[in-house]
C-alpha cells in the first residue's frame, strides 16, 4: 500500500535517576557517598533508506518511544544509557512539526539522519553533591524527561520530470513505453491511484527519473480528488510535461485542458508554476480532426511552451520527446556549472 502522509508522536527516553548510596565495607567506617549518576535516555532519529518507498508503517503505528536510561547504582556506577530508536523512512521524506508546520528536515540522501527527539540527561548521584562542608549528602538528581513531539511526515517523490494531466490522458502508457515502470493501464478514469516512478535510459546520455502522478480533476489544488497531495510530488521536479489527450474520444477541448492544468499548478503555489514545462499532445494515432492538434500547438507556442505530438500507445514521437527532455535537463546542469565557475582563479 502506498501511503505518502502520516502523523505520528515521538517521545525520547527519560534520563535515569541518580542514587543515594554510601560505601559500606568492613574496616572502612567512613566510606562516604558513592551513589552513581543515572544514564542518558535514548533519542529518536529518522534515517533515509532507498529500500523504503511508503510511509505505511507510520500510518498504523503512530506512536514511538525510545528506551529510558537506567538508574545509577552504588559504587559510583553510572546507569546504562537508553538505546536510541532509529526509524527508517523513504528518500524524499519531509519532516514537519505538526503544530507549527515548520520543516524540521528533508531526507533525500541514502543514510541521511535527522534527530527529532533528544533523550533526557541522567540525574546526578549523591557522590556528586559531596563538599567539604557536607561530606555525607543525601541528595540526588532526578533524570530529565525526554523530548516529545507531534510530527507530520510527507513523502515527496524525487524525480526530475513530472507528468501532469487529466485522468485517462495516457501518462501511465507513456511511462510504460519509455521506462521499466509498469503502472496499471485501462480505458477508464482514475486507473492510476498512486504516483509511479520510472527510470528513463537515454542512449549516450545519463537518463533521468520520471514521475507519473494520478490524473487531476478541477479543484485539485484545493484537495479535490486528493489533487493537492498528488501535486506535492512535483515539487522536486525540474521539468513538467502537460499531457493532453487530443483525440475526439476524450470529449474535451485540448486548449481548455491546457489552461486548466496550468491554472491548477499555479493555484497550488510553492513555486510549481515557475518550473519549466513542455506540452505533449497524446493519442495522435487515433486523431481524426487535425485542427484539434493544430490549435493546441498554436496555443502552446503562444505561451512559450515547447510542443510535441506523440502516441504513447504506439511509441510514435516518444523517443524524440525523451531526448528533448534529457537535453533540457543537462543544459540546466551545464548552465549551473558555468555560473559556479565564474570569477574563479584563472
In the sheet with 63-65, reading across from the earlier edge strand, the strands are 63-65, 5-11, 148-155, 93-97, 103-107
Q: Select the more confidently predicted residue: 324 or 3.
A: 324
Name the pLDDT band for 344 (thresholds 50, 70, 90): very low
- Cα–Cα distance between 120 and 39 in angstroms, integer? 9
Name the pLDDT band for 269 (thresholds 50, 70, 90): confident
Closest CA to 246 of 286, 212, 196, 188: 286
Q: Three-class SS of residue 165?
A: strand
Cell numbers given for 54:
511508503
Residues of the chain with pLDDT > 90: what percent? 42
pLDDT for the residue 3: 73
Q: Which residue has the cell 514511538?
A: 64
pLDDT for the residue 219: 57
Q: How many CB atoms lie within 10 A of CB 60?
A: 9
- Cα–Cα distance between 259 and 284 in angstroms, integer? 20
- Cα–Cα distance between 39 and 123 in angstroms, integer? 8
What are the structural domains, with CATH classification, of the chain? 5-155 (2.70.210.12), 161-341 (3.40.50.300)
Q: Select the more confidently predicted residue: 18 or 342.
A: 18
pLDDT for the residue 334: 58
Indicate the average pLDDT of the chain. 84
Pick the range with the lowest mean pLDDT from 37-46, 192-201, 207-216: 192-201
Q: Select the more confidently predicted residue: 158 or 14.
A: 14
Q: Do residues 93 and 110 make contact, with C-beta atoms less than 8 angstroms apart?
A: no
Please write the tens of the pLDDT for every residue from 36-75: 999 999 999 999 998 888 888 898 889 999 999 999 998 8
Q: Considering only CA atoms, give the Rg of the chain.
A: 29
- Cα–Cα distance between 6 and 62 in angstroms, integer? 8
DSSP state of 77: B
Q: Do residues 279 and 305 make contact, with C-beta atoms less than 8 angstroms apart?
A: yes
pLDDT for the residue 16: 94
pLDDT for the residue 229: 65
Q: Do residues 164 and 59 make contact, with C-beta atoms less than 8 angstroms apart?
A: no
**Does 288 score more than 90 pLDDT?**
no
Q: Select the more confidently predicted residue: 122 or 213.
A: 122
Closest CA to 44 of 54, 58, 34: 58
- Cα–Cα distance between 240 and 144 in angstroms, integer? 50
What phi and psi values does residue 273 have, to the nearest 5 degrees? Answer: -70, -20
Q: How many CB atoms lie within 10 A of CB 23?
A: 15
Closest CA to 243 of 254, 228, 252: 254
Q: How many CB atoms lie within 10 A of CB 89?
A: 24
Cell numbers given for 102:
515548520
Q: What is the DSSP string of 242-253?
A: EEEE-SGGG-S-
Pairing of strands 161-165, 208-212: parallel
pLDDT for the residue 149: 96
Indicate the pTM of the whole model: 0.71
**Does 189 score more than 60 pLDDT?**
no
Q: Do residues 264 and 232 make contact, with C-beta atoms less than 8 angstroms apart?
A: no
Amino acid at each position: 500500500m502506498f501511503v505518502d502522509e502520516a502523523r505520528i508522536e515521538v517521545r525520547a527516553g527519560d534520563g535515569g535517576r541518580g542514587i543515594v548510596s554510601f560505601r559500606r565495607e568492613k574496616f572502612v567506617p567512613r566510606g562516604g557517598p558513592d551513589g552513581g549518576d543515572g544514564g542518558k535516555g535514548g533519542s529518536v532519529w529518522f534515517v533515509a533508506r532507498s529500500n523504503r518507498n511508503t510511509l505505511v508503517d507510520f500510518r498504523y503505528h503512530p506512536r514511538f518511544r525510545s528506551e529510558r536510561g537506567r538508574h545509577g547504582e552504588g559504587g559510583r556506577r553510572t546507569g546504562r544509557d537508553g538505546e536510541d530508536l532509529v526509524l527508517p523512512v523513504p528518500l524524499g521524506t519531509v519532516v514537519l512539526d505538526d503544530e507549527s508546520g515548520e520543516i524540521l528536515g528533508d531526507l533525500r540522501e541514502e543514510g541521511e539522519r535527522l534527530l527529532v527527539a533528544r533523550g533526557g540527561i541522567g540525574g546526578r548521584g549523591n557522590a556528586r553533591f559531596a563538599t567539604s562542608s557536607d561530606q555525607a549528602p543525601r541528595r540526588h538528581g532526578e533524570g530529565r524527561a525526554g523530548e516529545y513531539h507531534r510530527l507530520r511526515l510527507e513523502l515527496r517523490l524525487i524525480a526530475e520530470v513530472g507528468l501532469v494531466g487529466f485522468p485517462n490522458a495516457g501518462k501511465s502508457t507513456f511511462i510504460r513505453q519509455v521506462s521499466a515502470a509498469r503502472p496499471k493501464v485501462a480505458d477508464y478514469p482514475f486507473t492510476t491511484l498512486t504516483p509511479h516512478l520510472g527510470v528513463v535510459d537515454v542512449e549516450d546520455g545519463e537518463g533521468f527519473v520520471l514521475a507519473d502522478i494520478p490524473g487531476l480533476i478541477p479543484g485539485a489544488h484545493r484537495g479535490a480528488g486528493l489533487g493537492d497531495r498528488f501535486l506535492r510530488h512535483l515539487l522536486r521536479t525540474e521539468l513538467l510535461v502537460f499531457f493532453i489527450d487530443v483525440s475526439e474520444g476524450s470529449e474535451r477541448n485540448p486548449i481548455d485542458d491546457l489552461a486548466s492544468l496550468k491554472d491548477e499548478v499555479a493555484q497550488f503555489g510553492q513555486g510549481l508554476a515557475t518550473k519549466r514545462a513542455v506540452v505533449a499532445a497524446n493519442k495522435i494515432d487515433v486523431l481524426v480532426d487535425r485542427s484539434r492538434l493544430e490549435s493546441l500547438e498554436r496555443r502552446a507556442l503562444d505561451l512559450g511552451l515547447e510542443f510535441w505530438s506523440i502516441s504513447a500507445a504506439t511509441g510514435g514521437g516518444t523517443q524524440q520527446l525523451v531526448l528533448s527532455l534529457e537535453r533540457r535537463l543537462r543544459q540546466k546542469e551545464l548552465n549551473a556549472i558555468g555560473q559556479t565557475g565564474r570569477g574563479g582563479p584563472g
